[in-house]
Amino acid sequence: MSRIALIQMCAGADPAANCATAGRLVAEAAAAGAGLVALPESWFCIDADPAAGLRLAEDEGRGPLQAFLAGLAARHGVWLLGGTLPLRGEEPDRVCAAALLFDARGRIGARYDKVHLFDVDVADAQGRYRESRVVEPGERIVVADTPFGRLGLTVCYDLRFPELFRAMSAAGAEVFVVPSAFTAVTGRAHWETLLRARAIENLAWVLAPAQCGTHPGGRETHGDSLVVEPWGEVIARRASGEGIVLAEIDLERGRRLRAEFPCLDHRRL
């Protein structure tokens, strides 16, 4: 059994304030015995200006946001998933939305760049989302070996693409991590259903730390950070407000289920 923690936040436009909140909640999770802690998507900043990430962009391995997360991981002796960070890519006018996994010594253990970008219209205060204007899409799946099993890394809108999760499962993923900033509208309709479906389809654990509340510009996110076990049951959640979600995950349960109910071995297509 491994104790994990999800961080739920309502990030604003001030990175320093967001770092203070993240630092406090990660410390709380570590004090509660969590060995793996996951922050939500865009934990560092949600601004009414979609280009804010460009101003905060860093090169991989250096920059104040990465140094902050590395220091948190090392100070508390936890593996820490930094939701997303804006890292420079190949295009000067876009960034990579990178989920960075730091080990307990503060070293980068894995990087996943968000593959599926949120270019949709939603019936909320913002109305129109065009993530591809400022974000460069990733092109590869990432499954990382950790003391908490093989983690498949995803971000938010990726949740709607089961083929990504199936590919990670085929690569040995036992736990999916889905740091998110789901809109309140789409979250009410689909969030829990999609998370439980990805768990059931792959007989895998799903950890989903989320943004919550109202952000600059009137954007509303759904919250409801969830831990789902491999048979699809929600075992821990935080419906609203900033805070942490603690849970014990048992990798052997997933392995037993895959042996007893080997649907992954029965695929024909």
Q: Which positions are annotated as active-site residues?
A: 41, 114, 156
Contact yes or no for 224/187 (Cβ under 8 A) = yes
What does the alpha-carbon distance between residue 36 and residue 111 come to, in Å, rounded to a whole number? 16
Give Cα 59 distance to the centre of its chain.
20
Cβ partners under 8 Å of residue 16, min gap 6:
none
- For the chain, how far is it from start to end, CA to CA, in angstroms? 34
Structure tokens of 249? Answer: 């995950």
Q: Is 189 left (phi over 0), alpha (psi -120 to 50) or beta?
A: alpha
Length of the chain, in residues = 269
Query: What is d(CA 221, CA 199) in angstroms, rounded to the nearest whole number?
Result: 22
DSSP 152: E
CA distance 111 to 114: 10
